[in-house]
Structure 1
């Protein structure tokens, strides 16, 4: 379905961007952030979403999409929608999140992914392979020299070509399942047309994947290239839009190690940031070396012994009230749940695997999706050394909801 409303860029936004960039040195980093007004942020496309999708609700996700589906799946399924993610990569969508996104599409929804890098897991789930000839280009001067020419296959856009003058990486799709995939757009690389925009049918819905998210940034929309971005998004039907800014990791999947690795990987990918990291470490080491000399410790004040019997008694009496040991309560809730499963459904809770989830869902008359979320949450919280009050409340609500069946 083609959208008739054009993408309009108000004069006020242009003036704000000009004032912003004229006062400070321009930030040319490709950040793809919805609140970023720098050249390669996506401030304009997000704020113009209401014009691109008239009479449609725009939901800016505040949590990870995997978590959002768990908390709102019943209402989301009732009102079919379009998931949109325009980023450098979708690393904050965990492996379980990718599976749930595909399940979301299978039920009749649609997804639009425009990424510079598709993870191995995402490629495997979508049944595609990609090639990025400029994946190791990071310097601004080298990126500036990358130009590109794109076109769309549909008859409505016949004989239209769209040229872009910088930061266009030669990224395209190599293989895909031809039985359920349609090529919607191409990129011209070394004189040859190669696909860079695909529609993959999945169940009752479809996934649209695009290999050059740079076309949605402020720079290209202000350069008169908004028509191409409008055409790309025009394939989505008129449903609720779930815009994913990828600002948080999932609460129910342990991604802390991946997050830490991605931060250092980002530093090492840029020469200037690598030098900054090295100089910072060197400065810390020098500071420690010059402060190894012995210093006079402060002479402690020795107070006379006091009778603390009453204070000790009060402390013990109010220990559980003041300490709020949420982890202790979480462990007790998990033990209570597993014991009730053993006695009520006669199931062995030693291995909380796929077979256990399937049997538990069948015997308790719960949906396998909700049962899987509950068991995954229990496994994650059980591994943690500390838990928050919010995690305790979420676990409690999940267990209460499970036993209501």
Structure 2
């Protein structure tokens, strides 16, 4: 890279420092417009110098859609596809197939991710392992340091030390017949591949497992040499830079048409077992609940005694009609009926003998019983009764039964 490029980076650093008034955001965004430490603002804006090309296309649509609308197999030296993100979840399986077809025609792809899709790894025949995939906190990521190496003879004696957010993410297996190891990372004293070139058809795909080294933070800490050396493997032709900003309009529809929920479950071992266990559990539930169960015995509530309510209703009618004589007669009849059933006395002759027996059995004073019985005899003889007569009789009968 020319010295003027370093001056540009210095100017960018100054701009970032002057415009950064808020607290620094240390989240790993990998966004091309993000000037925070772990955005890719500098790399994207200096891509022409890093890649030694004058044509950088910033994709405003999904790579599948872009190739669908702009690319044909007759195109030659169409370009280099570059994607530097945490993951590429917006590229569906059909999108991967389309990208691999693009590479197979003689183009290149540089993909640097923390997490690669299972489908991409299956198609390119490689596997990865991230020892720090459960580390998410900024404070914990800050402690992760690492040393990187490039295998090319021109860079072989150089050690590239990175002081934070370096996840121990490396390539475990790959097809040696079509893969070349271009770079390694040191983990527990052992150098393990983290940068490989996979030949695919007439082209090649470059896989890098540590996208963090291409962010603003390291380009401003004199680590731009590593980035420049890594990108030196790409051809100096058109660059398709993928910000991973949109889902595909076409591949999503195709995925939706050609896949089902069960196919998604069967693609993952744990979800497959979940489906099997759920199905077996449902069968067992149906088997043990197929026997006829006893019907629920209904609750039969006892009949309610509505005598009091009925009596109150009837008495209210009589009161409204001012038929006091009728109520007096009914009160007397009620009293005598109670005496017959409770004390077993004959009430046909209300004489002195009856009064003495009633006083003895009920425990009331003889004088009070005399007054009550005499009042009953007197009221029976009347043709009409007043409200006062009714109230006095009611009070005497009530006092009698309270004893």
TM-score, structure 2 as length reference: 0.61
Structure 1 residue 253 displacement after superposition: 3.3
How far is 1:75 from its partner? 8.4
SS at match of 2:191: strand
Q: Which residue of 2 aligns with 1:398?
A: none
What count of residue pairs does the alignment treat as equivalent?
Answer: 254
Asked if 2 retains the 8 angstrom alpha-carbon contact of 1:82 and 1:112, the reply is yes
- Aligned counterpart in structure 2 of residue 226 of structure 1, from 224, 227, 239: 224
Contact 1:83–1:242, Cα closer than 8 Å, also in 2:
yes
CA contact (8 A) 1:7 1:230 kept: no
Cα distance in 2 for residues equivalent to 1:215 and 1:7: 18
Report if aligned partners of 2:42, 2:216 keep a CA contact under 8 Å in 1.
yes
Which aligned pairs between 1:287-306 and structure 2 lie closer than 5 A? none
1:186 corresponds to: 184
Superposed counterparts of 1:6-405, under 5 Å:
8=6, 9-21=8-20, 23-74=21-72, 77-254=75-252
Counterpart secondary structure, 2:89: coil
1:4 deviation in Å?
A: 7.8
- CA RMSD, 1 decimal: 1.9
- Which residue of 2 is the match for residue 310 of structure 1? none
Q: Deviations over 1:80-121 (max 9, x none)?
A: 210000100111111101001100000000000011101111
* Cα deviations by residue, 1:359-400 (Å, 9 ceiling, x for unpaired): xxxxxxxxxxxxxxxxxxxxxxxxxxxxxxxxxxxxxxxxxx
* 1:6–1:230 CA contact under 8 A, matched in 2: no
Cα displacement string for residues 166-189 of structure 1 (whole angstroms, at most 9, x for unaligned residues): 000000000000000000000000
Asked if 1 retains the 8 angstrom alpha-carbon contact of 2:110 and 2:206, the reply is yes
Using the TM superposition, give the Cα deviation of residue 10 of structure 1 relative to its aligned residue in structure 2, in angstroms: 3.2
Change (3 A) 1:102 1:254: closer
* Distance in 1 (alpha carbons) for counterparts of 2:3 and 2:11: 20
Unaligned runs of 5+ in 2: 257-403
Contact 2:64 2:251 survives alignment (8 Å)? no
SS in 2 for 1:155: coil
How far apart are 1:6 and its partner, in Å?
8.5
Stretches of structure 1 that go unaligned for 5 or more consecutive residues are 258-405
How has the CA–CA distance of structure 1 residues 6 and 174 changed in structure 2, closer, same or farther, with 3 Å as cutoff?
A: farther
TM-aligned CA distance change 1:4 to 1:95, over 3 Å: farther
1-side partners of 2:182 and 2:2: how far apart? 19
Structure 1 pair 28/76, CA: closer, same or farther in 2 (3 Å)?
Answer: farther
Pair 1:94–1:76, CA change in 2 (3 A): farther
Residue 51 of structure 2 contacts residue 231 of structure 2 at CA under 8 Å; is this kept in 1?
no
2:142 touches 2:164 (CA, 8 Å); kept in 1? yes
Tell me the residue number matched to 2:285.
none
**What is the CA–CA distance in structure 2 between the aligned matches of 1:75 and 1:106, rounded to whole Å?**
10
1:252 shift after superposition: 1.5
* TM-score normalised by the chain length of structure 1: 0.60
SS at match of 1:118: coil
Structure 2 CA distance, aligned partners of 1:250 and 1:164? 35
Task: Tell me how far apart the structure 1 counterparts of residues 154 and 182 of structure 2 sit (CA, whole Å).
Answer: 12
Q: For residue 171 of structure 2, give the secondary structure of its aligned residue in structure 1.
A: strand
1:125 offset after TM fit, Å? 1.3
Q: Deviations over 1:25-72 (max 9, x none)?
A: 110010000000000000000000111233431100010000001100
After TM superposition, give the deviation of residue 203 of structure 1 in Å: 0.6
User: Structure 1 residues 201 and 4, CA, compared in 2 at 3 Å: closer, same or farther?
Assistant: farther
Per-residue CA distance 1:302-350 (angstroms, 9 max, x = gap) = xxxxxxxxxxxxxxxxxxxxxxxxxxxxxxxxxxxxxxxxxxxxxxxxx
Checking the alignment, whether the CA contact within 8 Å between 2:184 and 2:192 is kept in structure 1 is: yes
Note if contact 2:127-2:174 (Cα within 8 Å) is conserved in structure 1.
yes
Q: Is the 8 A contact 1:171 1:212 kept in 2?
A: yes
